Structure 1
Amino acid sequence: MRMHFVLLALLLMSGVVGGGITPVLAQDGTPQVDYVALGNAALEARDFEVALMYFNRALDFNPRSIEAINGRAQAYYGLGDYAATIEDYTTIIELGEATSVTYYNRGLAYSAQGEWEQSNLDLTRVIEADAELAPAAYVTRGYNYFAQDAIESALEDFDAALRLRPDYAPAYLERGKAMLAQGDQEEALANFNRAIGLDVEYAEAYHTRGILYFQQGNFEAALLDFNRTLALDPHFPNAYYNRGNVYVALDNYEAALNDYFEAYNQNENLEGLVSAGSLLAHYFNDFQAAIDTFNIVLAIEPERPEVLAERGWAFFNLYEYFYAIDDLDQALALDPDYMTAYVYRAHTRLAQGDVNGAYEDFDAALALEPQYIPALLGRAYLHLSLDNTDAAIRDFEAYIAIIGQGSDPEIEALLAELKN
C-alpha cells in the first residue's frame, strides 16, 4: 500500500537569491532565503534529499520551526527513514503544536515500520478527533489489520470509511485488496473499478487491478493497467516489476528484462534483479551476465536458496562445475525441499561423471513430488544413456500420463521406438 501524507499548506517561495543557499541575513539575523519554501518545492518535486538539506538549513536558524520540522519529517518519509520521521512528528507533539495531521502522519510512519499497535493508537486518536480526516485514518488502520491477517477487522474499517465518505477511492481500493485475499475476485474487481471511476488518475488502483488481471491470465488487460500506472507515476518500482512479468507471459523477453532492471534502478528492488538474472540465464543464454546479476543480490541477501540455485545453474552452463556444486549445496542446505536445486545438481553431477550422485538427486526431487517433470525426464534420459531401457520407458510413460496423450509427439515417438 502506497500511503500519502496529508500535506500541510505549502508556503509560497520568496526571498530566493539566485536559487542559491548562501543566506543573506537581515539586520535581525534571520535569513532572507526562505529555506522552508525551497524545501516544500523540493518535496513537490519528490527530491527528498534536497528537501532534507533545505529543512535542516531552516532548522539551523530556528530549531523550533514547526513548518521545517514537519517538512523534514515528510522528506524523511520519502527517503524511507521512518524512525527519523517518527522522531520529528514526536517533537512537534512535544512542542504542543500537533494537529490531527501530525498524528495521522506519525501513524503512517509507524505502519511503514510494521509497528501496528503504535500506528493504531495514533490513527484511533485521529478517528475520534477529526471527522474530516477519519476516513483516511480508517483506511490506514484497516491496512494495518490486513497486514496482520485480521481481514474481517480490516473490512470493518474500510466499510466505516465509506460510510463517512462514500466517494473515498482509497477505501474501495483497500477493500478490494482484502476481498482478493479472501478469494473473491469478482467483488475485488468491482471495488478496483469503483476506485478508478472515482479517481481516474489513481496509479495504485490501476496497478492493483493489473495484478488481478495478471492472476486471471488476462495479460493484455494487465499490460494496459501497468502502462497506465507508469504513465501516472514513473517512479513506481513494483509496476515495472509486474509489467516485466506480463512481458514474460507474452514472450517479450527484451521488454521484460528492461523492466526488471528498471525496477531495481528505481529503488533497489532485488526481485527485479532475481527475475532479470533468470531471464539472462534461461532465455538469453548470457550466463556470465546472469552470474553478475545474482552476485549483486547475494551480496545483500546471501541466504536466498533460489538465487544460489540459479547462479549454480549459470555456472553449470559455463562448465564451472565446482562453483555450481558449491552454490547448489548451499541452496539445499538452506532449503532441503528445493526440487529445482536437486535437478540442477543432478545434471552437474552427471557432467562430472557422478552417475550415482545424479540418480540420488533425481530420486530426491521425485520423492518430494512424484510428478515433477524436470526430474522425471532427467532421470528417464539418464536411464536411456545407460541402456536401462525398461526404466526409461517407465519414466517416459509417467511423463506422458501427466501431460496427456498427444501433448509431446517427440517423446511419444521415442517411446514407440523403445518398445519395438
Structure 2
Amino acid sequence: MRTLAEPFRYSVVLGAVALLVAAIPASPAYADEAWDMCTNEDPDIGIAGCDEVLSRGDAESDRNRAIAYRNRGLAYQAKDNLDAAIADYVEAISLDPGYVTAFNDLGIAYRNKDDIERAIGAYSDAIRLDPDYAYAYNNRGNAYRDRGDFDLAIADYSDAIRLDPAYVFAYNGRGNAFQDKGELDRAIADYDMAIRLDPDYQATFYGRGNAHRDLGNVDLAIADYTESIRLDPSYAAAYNGRGNAHRDLGNVDLAIADYARAIELEPRYVFAFNGRANAYAAIGETERAIADYDLAIRFDPNYAIAYRNRGLAFDDLGQTDRALEDYDAAIRLNPAYAYAYNDRGIIYDNRGMPERAVEEYSRALEIDPNYTFAYNNRGVAYQNMGEMELAIADYEAALALEPDYERAQENLEQALSEMGDGGFRAAGASRSQSGGAPQADRATTRTFYGEGTGGGPDIWVLIEP
C-alpha cells in the first residue's frame, strides 16, 4: 500500500485555502492522475480527484485517506460549503487523530460559521498535539478576539510571535487586540512591526489608520488608508475608513466619494452605507441619509447602530414616533447601547414625561458612567420635575468629567438661579426670566462604522509547516 509523504508546499492567502500537495511515489497512472486532481487548486477538480482517491477504500492507507479527506475539505471550504468541509476534516481526524493541520483547518471552518467555541476547541487540540504550531496560536487568538477575550487573544498572538518572530499576521492580530482594548500606542507599535516585516501588507496600514483616527491623528489616518488603497485598490474597508476620516475633518464630499467607492466594491457593505448616511445627515440631506440607513438595515437586520442613526434622522424630521421605534430596535439588539437610551430619554422629556426620561438616562449611565451628556440630560429632566438639588448634582457631575462643557455650565447656572435664596425657584420668577428652559444634548455625532476599533480583516495562515 502506498504511503504519501507529508506535504511541503504551502500558501499564505486572504479568504482562500491552501491545498495539501503530496509527494507521490511511483504508482499506477490512474493513481497519479487522481492524486494530481486531489491536490489541484481548482476546488471542483480537487473534489473530483479526492472522490476518486477515496473510492478506492482500503487500497489507500489510512494516512492517505486522511490527506484526501482534508484536501477535499479545503476544496469544499473554498466553495463556502462549510458543513461538507467540517465533515471531511472530522473524517480526516478520525483516520489520523494526530493530524495537527486538520484540527487547524477544522477550527477555521468553525470560525467561519461563527461557531467560536468549537473553533477554539479545534485550535486547542492542534496546540495540544504540537505546542510549537504558531499558526494555531494565531488562529486561536483570532477566535478569542471574536469572543471579546482580548487578553487571551494577546497571549496567543504573543506565543505565535515567540515561535515565529517574523510572523506578520500575528503582529497585526495583536495590534488589533490592543486597539480593541484602547491601548492604541501598543497597537501602533505592532502595526509598525508588521509593516517593517511586510511593507506591502495592506490590512496593517488599514489597522494603523484606525488607531491613528482613534487617537485623533486624522491626517496620519488618511495617509495610512491611502497607502492601503494604493497597495490594494479593491480594499473596500480602506475606502470606508478614509471616508470616516474625511468626515471627521468636515470634508463631506470626499467622504461621500469614498463611501460610494466602498459600496461599488462591496454592494452589501453595511458600514459604508451607514457612513455615507451619516455624511448626508451632516449636510442636511436627511431623506438621502434615511435611504442609506434603510439599505444598511436591509442587508444586516441586526445592525443596531444603523437603527439608532436612522432614529436620529427621523427625530431631525420631527417624526419622533418612528425615531422611538428605531431606538427601541437598537436597544433590543444591543441592550448595552448607552447612546440609544440617552436619545430615547430626550424624546420622553420633550413629551412631558421627565420621570420616564430619568429612567432612560440612568440606564445610560449604568452602562457608561462617564457619559457626560446623560448626566446633563438627566439634570434637565430632574429640573423639569422640580428636583433642583438632583439636577444640580448631575450638572456638576457632567462638568467634573468635562469642565469645558458649556451646555452643562449654562444649565447649572440657571438651576442655581432658580433655586433662589430659599432653595427653590425665586417667587414669581419664570424660566424665561431666569434664562429659559434647560437644554439636553444627544451625542454630538452619529456612530460610524460599528466594526470595532480593530484593524483589517483577520488573515490566517492555512499552510503546512
Equivalent residues in 2 for 1:3-152 (5 A)?
9=17, 12-14=85-87, 39-48=107-116, 51-52=119-120, 55=123, 66=134, 68-96=136-164, 99-130=167-198, 134-152=201-219
The equivalent residue for 1:356 is 426
Within 2, Cα distance between the matches of 1:330 and 1:6?
54
Does 1:326 find its partner at 2:389?
yes
- Distance apart, 1:160 and its partner CA: 2.3
- Distance apart, 1:270 and its partner CA: 0.8
Does 1:221 find its partner at 2:288?
yes
- Distance apart, 1:329 and its partner CA: 1.7
Aligned partners of 1:257 and 1:276 also within 8 Å:
yes
- Distance apart, 1:59 and its partner CA: 5.6
- Distance apart, 1:328 and its partner CA: 0.7
- Distance apart, 1:87 and its partner CA: 1.3
Within 1, Cα distance between the matches of 2:197 and 2:350?
57
Equivalent residues in 2 for 1:18-417 (5 A)?
39-48=107-116, 51-52=119-120, 55=123, 66=134, 68-96=136-164, 99-130=167-198, 134-267=201-334, 268-283=336-351, 285-302=352-369, 304-315=371-382, 321=386, 324-335=387-398, 337=406, 338=408, 341-342=411-412, 345=415, 349=419, 354-356=424-426, 366=435, 374=437
Point out the more displaced range, 261-270 or 341-350. Answer: 341-350
Within 2, Cα distance between the matches of 1:179 and 1:141?
16
Secondary structure of the residue aligned to 2:87 is: coil
**Cα separation, partners in 2 of 1:310 and 1:248, compared to 1, 3 Å:** same
Within 1, Cα distance between the matches of 2:192 and 2:416?
57
Secondary structure of the residue aligned to 1:354 is: coil
- Distance apart, 1:219 and its partner CA: 1.0
Within 2, Cα distance between the matches of 1:49 and 1:346?
55
**What TM-score results when the alignment is normalised by the length of structure 1?**
0.68
Aligned partners of 1:245 and 1:256 also within 8 Å:
yes
Note the aligned Cα RMSD (angstroms). 4.0
Higher relative contact order (CA 8 A, sep 6+): 2
User: Which stretches in structure 1 are left out of the alignment for 5+ residues?
Assistant: 18-24, 367-372, 377-420
User: Which stretches in structure 2 are left out of the alignment for 5+ residues?
Assistant: 1-12, 18-73, 78-84, 400-405, 440-465
Secondary structure of the residue aligned to 1:170 is: helix
Within 2, Cα distance between the matches of 1:216 and 1:55?
48
- Distance apart, 1:332 and its partner CA: 2.6
Question: For 1:371-404, what per-residue CA distance to the aligned partner results, in whole angstroms no more than 9, with x for missing partners?
Answer: xx5479xxxxxxxxxxxxxxxxxxxxxxxxxxxx
Aligned partners of 1:346 and 1:359 also within 8 Å:
no
Letter in 2 for 1:326: E
**Cα separation, partners in 2 of 1:124 and 1:257, compared to 1, 3 Å:** same
Point out the more displaced range, 189-198 or 260-269. Answer: 260-269
**Cα separation, partners in 2 of 1:305 and 1:168, compared to 1, 3 Å:** closer
- Number of equivalent positions: 351
- Distance apart, 1:224 and its partner CA: 1.4
- Distance apart, 1:73 and its partner CA: 1.7
- Distance apart, 1:125 and its partner CA: 3.4
Question: For 1:47-71, what per-residue CA distance to the aligned partner results, in whole angstroms no more than 9, with x for missing partners?
Answer: 5456546655766676656565334
Within 1, Cα distance between the matches of 2:95 and 2:201?
45
Within 2, Cα distance between the matches of 1:347 and 1:64?
70
Letter in 1 for 2:313: V
Within 1, Cα distance between the matches of 2:345 and 2:438?
23
- Distance apart, 1:221 and its partner CA: 0.9
Letter in 2 for 1:13: I
Aligned partners of 2:375 and 2:398 also within 8 Å:
no
Within 2, Cα distance between the matches of 1:31 and 1:266?
40
Question: For 1:167-188, what per-residue CA distance to the aligned partner results, in whole angstroms no more than 9, with x for missing partners?
Answer: 3323322223332333222222
Question: For 1:15-54, what per-residue CA distance to the aligned partner results, in whole angstroms no more than 9, with x for missing partners?
Answer: 799xxxxxxx97997699x876665444334354565466
**What TM-score results when the alignment is normalised by the length of structure 2?**
0.63
Aligned partners of 1:349 and 1:357 also within 8 Å:
no
**Cα separation, partners in 2 of 1:220 and 1:52, compared to 1, 3 Å:** farther
Within 2, Cα distance between the matches of 1:6 and 1:114?
26
**Cα separation, partners in 2 of 1:28 and 1:207, compared to 1, 3 Å:** closer
Higher helix share: 1
